[in-house]
């Protein structure tokens, strides 16, 4: 549960800056493509929407794969490392994932609040999408087939020929509940025309409406729009993601307008038809509660008219080169953002000692398993099959024994106080039974040579009879017999084993 919470938290908080970055890059790219075909701009916005979900997900997964959430830190511990294996890369060790990260700890209450708010918002957006789907099904079920309408059939056949698209897969229906034409259907597309449009019998208006919806069918816009809604759902909390979704709808309509004016009907006639369709159905808001695609999806009538009356000024070669440059502009920084993660973790508070103790125990168990694996079958197998590795291990062991002997000889030479004297000095200050007495030194300049500020000392561990399990550590200078420092070790808390 902790790992999943940290994974979701890392996804959410990295998505805040990553989605904003991707939206800014997409806006810059579209600005560079403003004189090219509208479909290029549409591709840029679609790519940006997919990257807005993909980049935060990759960031969170890479942070988890790097081991960031596997063993939370509960304190500092000294780890025993086998010097023979210190510079060897064993087969079971996973390489670094190369994720640059800053780690932040957030209060548990803040984390739970953020996750609850995100979960509630996600549930709300999913409910609205399901409601839109249900509303779409109702519209489709209430539509009536236009069998025998020769004018509509003639326009459909003409659109099919000009687009080289089979018309037998398309149903054309009428509806009294719709103010504008729409397209519905994942596998069997249906074009639904409003009853008011059918009653007018304006050939140019019908051709514009049916041609526009025909382009939606040929481009599979209904299926793609539903896919975009699913991709948008996890990142719908972000205003920049809402901007990307809005731009996709707008450029999709501009693409369809471009194709209608190019292949089906004159641009000026089509522009007048757009104005007539928009004026005949002003209250278009209820269409936003459906998953349909249609001629009135984008509320940018002026921009659509201007786009129809102006032509792209770049030739085809420059358009493609510019599209490649904009794609790189969008992809390269996005990939860089995916490799840089701000890692967010749930802070372990003092009010939850049981959880902290459990994490410490889990860390100790994991460390024990790693040490066991390092000295287990993998190491033995390599020793058996690799003579060079076996010789190197033997050489390191001999060097380790030699260095230990040199160190011990230097300690004996430098010390002026015997071990018995050190024990008497330590027990004179702290009476009790001596558990351990060892000779050591710190700050070695080289093997066998102590640094100028180094110290040779005895560490005497004396049992605390008043507190069973406790002890007192006394450091005695091995040269002049002075007590360097004294530390008390509290008894370790014993826990009853948990029942499975």
Residue 230, pLDDT > 90, answer yes
Q: Are residues 197 and 279 in the same domain?
A: yes
Q: What residue spans of 264-386 are helical by DSSP H?
A: 267-280, 301-309, 316-339, 353-374, 377-385
Confidence of residue 85 (pLDDT cuts 50, 70, 90): very low
DSSP 70-112: TS---S--PPP--TTTTT---TTPPPP---EEEEEEE-HHHHH
Q: Are residues 226 and 354 in the same domain?
A: no
Confidence of residue 88 (pLDDT cuts 50, 70, 90): very low
What is the number of alpha carbons within 13 Å of residue 312 lying toward its C-beta? 20
DSSP 99-149: -EEEEEEE-HHHHHHHHHHHHHHHHHHHHHHHHHHHHHHHHHHH-EE-TT-
Residue 296, pLDDT > 50, answer yes
Per the domain annotation, does 30 fall within a domain? yes
Per the domain annotation, does 375 fall within a domain? no
With 0-12 / 13-18 / 19 or more C-beta atoms within 10 angstroms meaning exposed / middle / buried, residue 153 is middle
Q: Are residues 426 and 392 in the same domain?
A: yes
- Full residue range of the structural domain in which residue 426 is found: 386-489
Which of 299, 319, 353 lies at the terminal end of a domain, its last residue? 299
Residue 87, pLDDT > 70, answer no
Residue 207, pLDDT > 70, answer yes
Question: Quick one: which of 288, 298, 299 has its CA closest to 135?
Answer: 288
Q: Are residues 142 and 288 in the same domain?
A: yes
Which of 299, 326, 351 lies at the terminal end of a domain, its last residue? 299
pLDDT digits (tens, 9 = 90+) for 462-479: 888 777 778 889 999 988
Cβ neighbours of 152 (radius 10 Å): 18
Per the domain annotation, does 358 fall within a domain? yes
Q: How many domains does the chain have?
A: 3
Q: pTM to 2 decimals?
A: 0.62
Q: Are residues 150 and 96 in the same domain?
A: no
Q: Are residues 482 and 460 in the same domain?
A: yes
Instruction: Tell me which of 70-74, 241-245, 486-490, 493-497 is least confident.
Output: 70-74
C-alpha to C-alpha distance for 497 and 442, rounded to whole angstroms:
39
Residue 81, pLDDT > 60, answer no
Residues in the chain, total = 500
pLDDT at 234: 95
pLDDT at 108: 78
User: Residue written as tokens 């790189």?
Assistant: 328
User: Residue written as tokens 């826990």?
Assistant: 495
CA distances from 308 to 45, 210, 251, 253, 273 (A): 20, 18, 13, 11, 12
Residue 91, pLDDT > 80, answer no
Q: Which of 43-52, 257-266, 300-309, 401-410 has the highest mean pLDDT?
A: 43-52
Confidence of residue 335 (pLDDT cuts 50, 70, 90): confident
Q: Are residues 278 and 395 in the same domain?
A: no
pLDDT digits (tens, 9 = 90+) for 139-158: 888 888 887 778 888 888 88
Buried b (16+ CB within 10 A) or exposed e, 250-266: bbbbbbbbbbbbeebbe
Per the domain annotation, does 81 fall within a domain? yes
Residue 311, pLDDT > 70, answer no
H or E segment at 458? Answer: strand 449-463
Q: Are residues 114 and 191 in the same domain?
A: no
CA distances from 204 to 107, 216, 266 (A): 64, 18, 10
SS3 431: coil
Q: What is the CATH number of the domain that holds 436?
A: 3.10.450.40
Per the domain annotation, does 42 fall within a domain? yes
pLDDT at 350: 46
Confidence of residue 412 (pLDDT cuts 50, 70, 90): confident
pLDDT at 358: 67
Per the domain annotation, does 59 fall within a domain? yes
> Taking all residues of the chain, what is their mean pLDDT, rounded to a whole number?
80
Q: Are residues 294 and 145 in the same domain?
A: yes
Residue 352, pLDDT > 60, answer no
pLDDT at 104: 65
Confidence of residue 405 (pLDDT cuts 50, 70, 90): confident
Q: Taking residues 25-50, report their average pLDDT.
A: 91
Residue 94, pLDDT > 50, answer no
In the DSSP assignment, the letter for residue 417 is S
CB 307 within 8 A of CB 271: no
Which of 251, 277, 299 lies at the terminal end of a domain, its last residue? 299
Residue 77, pLDDT > 60, answer no
Q: Are residues 118 and 58 in the same domain?
A: yes
Q: Are residues 360 and 447 in the same domain?
A: no
Per the domain annotation, does 276 fall within a domain? yes
Beta bridge partners, 486, equal 474
Per the domain annotation, does 158 fall within a domain? yes
Q: Are residues 140 and 109 in the same domain?
A: no
């Amino acid at each position: 549960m902790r790992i999943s919470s940290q994974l979701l938290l890392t996804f959410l908080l990295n998505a805040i800056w990553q989605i904003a970055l991707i939206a800014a890059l997409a806006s810059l790219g579209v600005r560079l493509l403003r004189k090219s075909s509208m479909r290029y701009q549409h591709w840029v916005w679609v790519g940006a929407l997919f990257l807005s979900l993909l980049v935060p997900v990759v960031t969170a997964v890479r942070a988890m794969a790097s081991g960031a959430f596997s063993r939370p830190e509960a304190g500092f511990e000294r780890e025993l490392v086998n010097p023979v294996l210190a510079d060897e890369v064993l087969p079971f060790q996973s390489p670094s994932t190369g994720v640059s990260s800053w780690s932040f700890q957030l209060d548990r209450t803040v984390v739970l609040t953020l996750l609850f708010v995100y979960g509630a918002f996600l549930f709300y957006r999913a409910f609205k999408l399901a409601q839109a789907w249900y509303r779409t099904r109702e519209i489709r079920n209430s539509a009536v087939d236009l069998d025998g309408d020769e004018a509509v059939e003639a326009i459909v056949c003409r659109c099919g020929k000009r687009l080289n698209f089979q018309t037998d897969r398309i149903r054309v229906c009428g509806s009294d509940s719709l103010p504008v034409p729409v397209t519905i259907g994942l596998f069997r597309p249906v074009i639904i025309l409003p009853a008011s449009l059918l009653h007018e019998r304006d050939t140019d208006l019908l051709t514009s409406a049916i041609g526009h919806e025909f382009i939606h069918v040929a481009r599979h816009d209904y299926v793609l729009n539903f896919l975009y809604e699913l991709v948008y759902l996890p990142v719908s909390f972000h205003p920049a993601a809402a901007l990307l979704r809005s731009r996709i709808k707008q450029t999709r309509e501009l693409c369809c307008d471009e194709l209608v004016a190019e292949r089906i009907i004159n641009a000026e006639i089509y522009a007048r038809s757009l104005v007539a369709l928009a004026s005949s159905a002003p209250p278009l808001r209820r269409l936003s509660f459906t998953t349909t695609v249609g001629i009135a999806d984008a509320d940018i009538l002026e921009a659509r008219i201007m786009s129809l009356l102006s032509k792209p000024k770049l030739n085809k070669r420059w358009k493609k080169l510019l599209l490649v440059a904009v794609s790189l502009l969008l992809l390269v920084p996005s990939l860089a953002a995916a490799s840089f993660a701000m890692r967010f973790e749930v802070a372990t508070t003092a009010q939850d000692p049981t959880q902290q103790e459990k994490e410490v125990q889990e860390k100790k168990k994991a460390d024990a398993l790693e040490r066991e694996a390092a000295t287990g079958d993998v190491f033995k197998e390599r020793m058996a099959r690799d003579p060079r590795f076996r010789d190197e291990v033997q050489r390191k062991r001999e060097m380790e024994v030699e260095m230990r002997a040199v160190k011990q000889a230097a300690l004996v030479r430098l010390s002026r106080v015997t071990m018995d004297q050190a024990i008497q000095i330590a027990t004179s200050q702290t009476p009790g039974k001596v558990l351990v007495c060892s000779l050591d030194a710190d700050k070695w300049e080289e093997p066998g040579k102590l640094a100028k500020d180094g110290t040779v000392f005895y560490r005497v561990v004396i049992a605390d009879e008043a507190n069973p399990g406790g002890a007192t550590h006394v450091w005695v200078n091995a040269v002049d017999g002075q007590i360097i420092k004294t530390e008390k070790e509290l008894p370790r808390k014993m826990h009853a084993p948990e029942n499975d």
